[in-house]
Structure 1
Amino acid sequence: MGSSAGGEHLASAPISGAGGFAVVVQVPAELDPASAALIEVAPELLDRVGAARSSAVEALAAGRAVYGVNTGMGKLSKVRLSEEQQRVHQRNLLLGRAVGGPPWLGRDEARAVLIGRLRTFLTGDAAVSVGLVQQLVALINSGHTPAIPAEGAGSAGEIIPLAHAMAPLVGEGQLLTSGLEVVDAAGVLPPFELGVKEGIALLAGIPGATGRAALQVARVRTLADRLTAVAAAGIAVIGANRDPYHPLAGRADDLLTAELTRIRELAGPEDNPASLQAPVSFRVAGHVIAHERRATQHLDEAVQRAFDGVTDSPAYLNGEFVGTAGFHGLDLTAHCDQLTAALAHAAEVSAARLHRLLDPSVTGLTAQLARDPGPQAGLVAVHKRAVASTHQLRRLTLPTAINTVETSNGQEDVQTFSWEAVGNLAEAIRLTRETTACELLAVRQAFALSPRHLPPGLQGLMDEVDAVVPPINADRPFGLDLTNLLSEVL
């Protein structure tokens, strides 16, 4: 059973419908939004949630004004609500803010949003009931995912996407089927009756962007390993001088040293380099991928700060309700932007190497890697696709938080657009994978035409390629090959 430094965990237990055996043992800070495993929250965590809830209800009974609980929201926060109004207010908060629409998040990202809110509920800051936590777990484990708008979160927090995400808990809203069709959520779960504070809790903070960012961190780490291998393969096939990847060149930077070592080991030795210096796009591979890995690490740290920090407002802290600005999400936004820029640069360098691979003066091979240059065009159009992807990537690199749009009659006069920042990052990952697939296809063809031997460290990667891409002996619709690489290799 896993445990964190604080001894917290998600318990593993036999769960009906899961094959009769335990399906998950996780630390809350390490919840994997990409996993489809069922979740059960440890009893001691539920006890902590229950204790915070009981204390918060007692505090509310004293009659102090608490934003969004016994008052209106935004500019209406000066309006005190009667007990009768409070009974319907929490549900109204949830339903009245579901103003989004398609395109919807994919099912994996939608699940990440739910897990993000569950993770933050377990701190006790939201002061929700054990029943609401269990209802959220039931939704996550149901196999159904809410239809959550991928765009249009124009608010200081995430109230619009979270309203869509959480509506199925009360029997409202829409769900995505496995075929990505939208169906009514009514009847999937017994509708939960929200208690005091619980409606605003479902809309608070930045749990959606945090959960989605955690998912992207996992994806980009896998992508980074592929970037390293593909770059090393290009270095090997053109016979590049290995000096730029000497571990001593990474002095004062352990992460760079590790990346240079990986590239050097994968590419293997080269006793007779084709030239004293390869094109810059090959020589800088270690620095480019090391920076991408560093940016990923920084985002991961920001994700953990968001999970463990205070993002609810009002938050129930040490026996009192405290209005906070944890929904601002600048830390998360800035690091999503940083990683998006790092990926854009990595993709541009990949596209540059691909262009060099088509050049006989660099490779010593046939023009454009065609078997019969002239009658055949080879892979020149593959490079054009990579260029299109990198051009689209550049448009994602504008800093997301640079905007001071006012909403809510001026009550919200700045925002960071963290929802959009993580959406840009997801798109950047997709486009970087496309560019990498283009380079990988060219590298494989270059090895097929080259007298150079494939280094042992790259044999596994090339075997994966060969399993889905037939030998290239003539021009053909290479888009099918790229699709296979994206779905099966990258």
Structure 2
Amino acid sequence: MINEPSDLDPAGTDPIELAPALLERLAAIRSEALRTLGSGDPVYGVNTGMGNLSKVRLTEDEQRRHQHNLLRGRAVGGPPWLAPDEARAVLIGRLRTFLTGDAAVSVELIHQLVALINSNHVPAIPAEGAGSAGEIIPLAHAAGPLVGIGHVYPAAPGADGRSTRGLLPPYELGPKEGIALLAGIPGATGRAALQASRAHRLADHLSAVGAGAIAVVGANRDPYRAAVARGDDVLADELTRLRELAGPKADPRSLQAPVSFRVAGQVTAHVRRTVRQLDDAVERAFTGVTDSPAYLDGEFIGTAGFHGLDLTAYCDHLTAALAHAAEVSTARLHRLLDPAVTGLPPQLARDPGPQAGLVAVHKRAVATTHQLGRLTLPTAISTVETSNGQEDVQTFSWEAVGNLAEAIRLTRETAACELLAVRQAFALSARAIPPGLQDLMQAVDDVVPPIDADRPFGEDLTAILTAVL
């Protein structure tokens, strides 16, 4: 039961039910807003045109059609579509902003939105091509099924899409409701919340895989001592985690392991720090005023909350942090193939020479890391005019969270490559798997058979990505 907007998690999957007291409050706001609209004062997008046409006042007959037309005329996107979980996050993000009351929409529209979220279907929302201050194009597609426009997909990957006809009874939008469905950056915010939850899990995996590499090469544990994290609580926690996972080592193979091993704590601590910063940006976006016009203190006010620079910047920041983490992981993987570092057979092959071992796994990680690096260009650094100059700057927050989703996917790939090498290194060595890593290594063993000869290791990596990471 949702009692407050903050109770609604865009990464959640359970059916949504709204508390009666919350709905009563929203109904009261709607009634007050309709009385305010009755004054006839100009309200952007309600009794006026949109964008550069906001100077045009609409007749009462035009107003009745206008809210529906706002969705129809802006649904210009196309494939590729968002994955079902991301599309659901967009809808939940939209619902969460409605529950603040700023949009002053009706309880009936909110019920329609909840019914769509709970229907096990999601709208076909374009993953690319937002191209505006805010995200009116993807939001037009997201809201279309509420009024019988567009297509929906079963919330299961790979299923075919179908028309919205018959899924929900078409809802007739009332005053202000069409523009409310298009306002702000709820889609990017909901998607960012989903990706942040994934990034938290990924950070845990990066710690475990890095600790496995540290343990299997017998790296000197000095860089992971608590004393070296002075003044940095996040780093201190990460170094503690690495020590616990990798276990003690009284007799290191060398005075200093390669840098990619020694900096494991700093790298993953930075990932964790940036994920938390994104969490904070998501909460600011959901808590703040992003509707425009927003109904505040008894009047409609034009705002600039759709300018998602805060969200964009922290998505970019996390993308860069993951790109560096992937580079470090790929470097460690290369060192794991080197007998001078591990004391193990070259390239972790059972029979070096006749067998190539895992050298091609490293090549895949190299290509993946290169691809990831191309995502790190700052997203908001682009001034493009639209709407005849009415929208003369943009932040491209929709694209920024798309880059982040791809960065998370690619970083998982490099982690899978390193994890496969760590498991093979343990298998070839006489070193015991530390207690903190035994569950992870068993999870790999459950889906990856022992490596005794060359084989299509891509199948093993897919199994790790599907069942372990």
| TM, length-normalised to structure 1 | 0.94
Q: Aligned AA for 1:372?
A: D
Structure 2 residues not aligned, in runs of 5+: none
Question: Counterparts of 1:381 and 1:156 in 2: how far apart (Å)?
Answer: 44
Note the 1:463-478 alignment, pairs <5 A: 463-478=442-457
Note the 1:414-433 alignment, pairs <5 A: 414-433=393-412
Matched, 1:201 2:203: no
> Is the partner of 2:34 in helix, strand or coil?
helix
Question: Counterparts of 2:312 and 2:7 in 1: how far apart (Å)?
Answer: 20
* Partner in structure 2 of residue 106 of structure 1: 83
Note the 1:274-285 alignment, pairs <5 A: 274-285=253-264
Provide Cα deviations, 1:183-230, integer angstroms capped at 9, x if missing partner. Answer: 111110001000000000000000000000000011010110000000
> Is the partner of 2:152 in helix, strand or coil?
strand
Structure 1 residues not aligned, in runs of 5+: 1-8, 12-26
* Partner in structure 2 of residue 16 of structure 1: none
Deviation at residue 32 of structure 1 after TM alignment: 3.2
Q: Aligned AA for 1:344?
A: A
Conserved 8 A contact 2:16-2:118: yes
Structure 1 residue corresponding to 2:226, chosen from 241, 247, 269: 247
Matched, 1:191 2:170: yes
Q: Aligned AA for 1:261?
A: T
Matched, 1:320 2:299: yes
Query: What is the RMSD of the two structures over their aligned residues, measured on CA atoms?
Result: 0.9
Question: Counterparts of 1:484 and 1:350 in 2: how far apart (Å)?
Answer: 19
Deviation at residue 30 of structure 1 after TM alignment: 4.8
> Is the partner of 1:145 in helix, strand or coil?
strand
> Is the partner of 1:321 in helix, strand or coil?
strand
Structure 2 residue corresponding to 1:358, chosen from 333, 337, 358: 337
* Partner in structure 2 of residue 260 of structure 1: 239
Structure 2 residue corresponding to 1:394, chosen from 341, 366, 373: 373
Note the 1:301-316 alignment, pairs <5 A: 301-316=280-295
Provide Cα deviations, 1:414-439, integer angstroms capped at 9, x if missing partner. Answer: 00000000000000000000000000
Question: Counterparts of 1:118 and 1:31 in 2: how far apart (Å)?
Answer: 9
* Partner in structure 2 of residue 18 of structure 1: none
Conserved 8 A contact 1:328-1:416: yes
| TM, length-normalised to structure 2 | 0.99
> Is the partner of 2:54 in helix, strand or coil?
helix
* Partner in structure 2 of residue 298 of structure 1: 277
Conserved 8 A contact 2:30-2:106: yes
Deviation at residue 36 of structure 1 after TM alignment: 2.3
Deviation at residue 43 of structure 1 after TM alignment: 1.1
Number of aligned residue pairs: give it.
Answer: 467
Question: Counterparts of 1:465 and 1:450 in 2: how far apart (Å)?
Answer: 17
Conserved 8 A contact 1:400-1:421: yes
Question: Counterparts of 2:345 and 2:412 in 1: how far apart (Å)?
Answer: 26
Structure 2 residue corresponding to 1:45, chosen from 22, 32, 55: 22
Question: Counterparts of 1:245 and 1:165 in 2: how far apart (Å)?
Answer: 47
Identity over the aligned pairs, expressed in percent?
75
Question: Counterparts of 2:280 and 2:24 in 1: how far apart (Å)?
Answer: 28
Matched, 1:54 2:46: no
Note the 1:78-97 alignment, pairs <5 A: 78-97=55-74
Deviation at residue 67 of structure 1 after TM alignment: 0.5
Structure 1 residue corresponding to 2:102, chosen from 108, 117, 125: 125
* Partner in structure 2 of residue 367 of structure 1: 346
Question: Counterparts of 2:6 and 2:238 in 1: how far apart (Å)?
Answer: 27
Deviation at residue 112 of structure 1 after TM alignment: 0.1
* Partner in structure 2 of residue 10 of structure 1: 2
Conserved 8 A contact 2:5-2:100: no
Matched, 1:146 2:113: no
